[in-house]
Amino acid sequence: MNMNASLPPVPNPRWFDFQVNGFGGVDFQAATVSRAEMEHAVAVMRGHGLAGIFLTLITDEIDAHCRRLENFEYLRTVSPEIARMIVGYHIEGPWLSPEPGYRGAHPPGPMHAPALSEFTRLQAAAGGRIRLITIAPEWPGSAECIAGITSEGVHISLGHTNASSAQIDAAIRAGAKFVTHLGNGTPLEMHRHDNVVQRLLARDELTACLIPDGVHLPPFVLKNFFRAKPAGKVLFTTDAMSGAGAGPGRYQIGRFEIDVGADGIARQPGGGGFAGSTLTPDEGVRRCADYLGLPLSTAEHFWSDAATAAFGITLPNWNVIS
């Protein structure tokens, strides 16, 4: 175990996270994020070792998503730092399951079946930079949409779903390759064997994306999931919300207020379910090494080369760009 191991300083941020909802007190789901706010978030992310992210938007109306994407694209044009950090977008909703438990902290109202026409609108607003979309494949027409979206070079991840084995099969045939935060976005109580976590975990074609904060998945569960997947079929993410890198307090995720306690856990007010994570990538590397008994170099690989290769991206070298 490597609990006492320490990472060297990060003069050149080198890690990549494909699911970041906010950081440094800044909520990326806000109606409008200012240049100053986003540059602050970028500075805090850099301080925690991030070289690039897929800025992630959670469930809302398509029009609202388009407005946010247009704003972030504007910020990329006026700020080199923002442009370097946002290497793409991850759209996590509204094409998710509205069932209680499976929807997690996402609002059910805007959820609906996917449509290629909506994807086209979103991609135009994003300047062609949407790289990942999470879909619940039990919606009618999902397989056709997945095929159409992946034909445009965009990756599909399955998540916030209660899909049957047949629906998962159809999604994989259509081009789905990933599972969003496997083991989360599910009810507390399910059938002990025939449940969507087991169905997804068993599919060797799918890369499992896991949150190694010790909370979303207890360390023993993380270890079991990691061992269950073939080599090269696991990635890690923070699923960070605005409280990441910002300390205890009350924060926003879109329309929702979220409490972050002294324990660092982001919960819905009143002690409800988890709502994103405050995990930072430098701590994520440490916890992967500790919980999984990995050398630090191997843990770092999962947060750098393995992640960028999976999505076919190249990160900027912050050492040579002021």
Question: Average pLDDT of the chain?
Answer: 92
- The values of phi and psi at residue 204, to 5°, are -65, -20
pLDDT tens digits, 102-157: 998 899 999 999 999 999 999 999 999 999 999 999 999 999 999 999 999 999 99
Q: What is the pLDDT of residue 246?
A: 87
pLDDT tens digits, 63-72: 999 999 999 9
Residue 1 has pLDDT above 50, yes or no: no
Q: What is the pLDDT of residue 322?
A: 46
Token pair listed for 31: 């109606």
- Are the C-beta atoms of residues 19 and 209 closer than 8 Å to each other? yes
d(CA 65, CA 75): 15
Residue 193 has pLDDT above 60, yes or no: yes
**Could you tell me which residues come within 8 angstroms of residue 252 by beta carbon, excluding any fewer than 6 positions away?**
27, 29, 30, 242, 258
Q: What is the pLDDT of residue 220?
A: 98
Domains of the chain and CATH, by start: 15-311 (3.20.20.140)
Single-letter residue type at 48: H
pLDDT tens digits, 48-63: 999 999 999 999 999 9
pLDDT tens digits, 270-316: 666 677 789 999 999 999 999 999 999 999 999 999 999 999 999 98
15-20: strand order across its sheet: 15-20, 50-58, 86-92, 130-135, 155-158, 178-179, 207-210, 234-236
Residue 2 has pLDDT above 80, yes or no: no
Q: What is the pLDDT of residue 277?
A: 87
Q: What is the pLDDT of residue 6?
A: 47
- The values of phi and psi at residue 59, to 5°, are -50, 130
| pLDDT-wise least confident of 2-6, 65-69, 242-246 | 2-6
Q: What is the pLDDT of residue 3?
A: 37
d(CA 19, CA 149): 19
Q: What is the pLDDT of residue 258?
A: 80
Residue 89 has pLDDT above 80, yes or no: yes
Percent of the chain residues topping a pLDDT of 70: 94
Single-letter residue type at 246: A
Burial class (CB in 10 A: 0-12, 13-18, 19+), 100: exposed
Q: What is the pLDDT of residue 276?
A: 73
Q: What is the pLDDT of residue 5?
A: 44
> Considering the entire predicted model, what is its pTM?
0.94
